[in-house]
A and B are shown apart, each in its own frame.
Chain A
């Protein structure tokens, strides 16, 4: 697969209250392929959201390169270039209420394409397509405050996909939702990745979400400390516990059983898989 986003030697620091600089990211190197589903894990304050905000230039790094499709964007960009970057790399935030601009669902989804200067008829088409993709067609004329959290977040996603991005960053987009809403949004994200080939970068500290991706990148204290397939990253739960992170419940259960002497594989990260292994074990007894 071809590289879509390349991050090279990236450093970033915030300005503190007294003008001192507080380093947040240190020498980050990361490649993301087209169509990949990458999860970025890290505890609060690890720098994971900062990294996301740099990828679509809401924040400008101190040094280093962010190369999107062969073009370094970590330089002074004109408004036009900046818009082009943000069209290609969309972003969905945590609080669905603070992302919706309009009082009618379909008018909100049209906001992005309108900013891009797309002709009216095409905007209409894009809005209808986006609504269908997130399964909210019947709510087109509703107002956002009549919707549940999960539904609002799906509208926020539709607002981004109407700009036809190649990559979407989800900055803890499920953190404020109830379990049902979280499920809806996760299913939508997965669908976008599998069916539309949209590159997904999901920032989360929910482990059941992290297992859905192709790759997990663990960030701690502004450094990438671990990355690999979910099964690899979760193979050693103790390392993650040391980093202040959790592992999926089923992985934790299997670790406990192994400590009790059960002969179980290490790479179990989904509940269905775990159930299957245990069922087989019990049958053979």
Chain B
């Protein structure tokens, strides 16, 4: 169950998105998110979905992986859809009514659009950021893109480092959680039965060992980093030098065109 969460999982590859400068990818992602939120007519939705499909195709990430990342937030999407179906009222006769519940065509339309929007948002950004950008490249991109903010004393490097480490330890901690859960199950713990309060209580014996071990890992990692001469961001160089190439700028133009296209066919 826990292995379904693929956030922060990089899939090595050599697609056009893998090779895009991470700084540019952050800009592209921002454009993409803006475009997705600007879509409102069905035609603009069609363009939006096409964009998402093209992004997934060009990234050459296996579909199974894109979908598994989607599954983790399925519940939220389904919940949003249901809320939209029941809470939207329309001008025409309700499509279906029972007691106080009325479902209008507008509700279905809203729900459908919301699901599409969330799906495109999630899969698109996952592919643009998580799957095709190694977390270090991503952090590197963030650090460099936002470097000017250091002038107003924002700890840009520290923030980037924290992010890298968090991403690095997600799979490790997931594995650890699995191990602890199995150990507790072996001693008779039950995580699936009882009411909510009982189930939450059953999580305590998992969370406490997990936190203790996470703190111990953090301590050891800090020592190891010191041994590797880590001394903050000052005077640090990078192995990979970021260079924006022609294709990066071409990509930017395509994404701007995508956003403008969606805006133009809005209502």
Contacts and interface: CB of A to CB of B under 8 A. Distances in A.
Chains A and B belong together in one complex: yes
Interface of A: 56, 58, 79, 83, 86-87, 90-91, 93, 95, 97-104, 106-107, 110-120, 123-124, 127, 141-145, 156, 159-160, 163
Given A103-B168, A104-B10, A124-B239, A115 B230 contact: yes
Given A103-B134, A119-B237, A111 B228 contact: yes
B227 A103 contact: no
Interface residues of B, number: 31
4 nearest A-B pairs in the assembled complex, by CB-CB distance:
A110-B239, A98-B220, A99-B224, A112-B228
Contacts of B230: 111, 115
Interface in B88-112: none
Contact of A113 (B136, B217, B239): B239
Interface of B: 10, 12, 134-136, 164-165, 167-168, 171-172, 175, 217, 220-221, 223-231, 235-241
A95 B237 CA distance: 27
B12 A142 contact: yes
Contact of B229 (A87, A120, A144, A145): A87
Contact of B136 (A102, A127, A163): A102
15 contacts: A58-B226, A98-B224, A99-B221, A101-B221, A103-B164, A103-B168, A110-B238, A111-B225, A112-B229, A115-B229, A117-B235, A117-B237, A123-B238, A123-B239, A143-B171
Nearest to A107: B136
A113 B224 CA distance: 14
Nearest to B235: A117
Contacts of A114: 236-239
A159 B227 CA distance: 11
Given A98-B220, A102-B135, A127-B239, 6 more contacts: A101-B224, A111-B230, A113-B237, A115-B230, A115-B236, A124-B239
A101 B12 contact: no
B164 A160 contact: no
Contacts of B134: 103-104, 107
A90 to B, nearest CB: 7
Nearest to A98: B220
B12 A163 contact: no
B164 A101 contact: yes
B233 to A, nearest CB: 10
A86 B229 contact: yes
Given A93-B220, A107-B136, A115-B231, A101 B225 contact: yes
A127 B237 CA distance: 14
Contacts of A124: 239
A115 B228 contact: yes
A120 B224 contact: no
B172 A91 contact: no
A143 B9 CA distance: 9
B98 to A, nearest CB: 51
A123 B238 CA distance: 8
Greatest chain B CB density within 10 A among A103, A113, A123, A145 is at A103
Contacts of A145: 171-172, 175
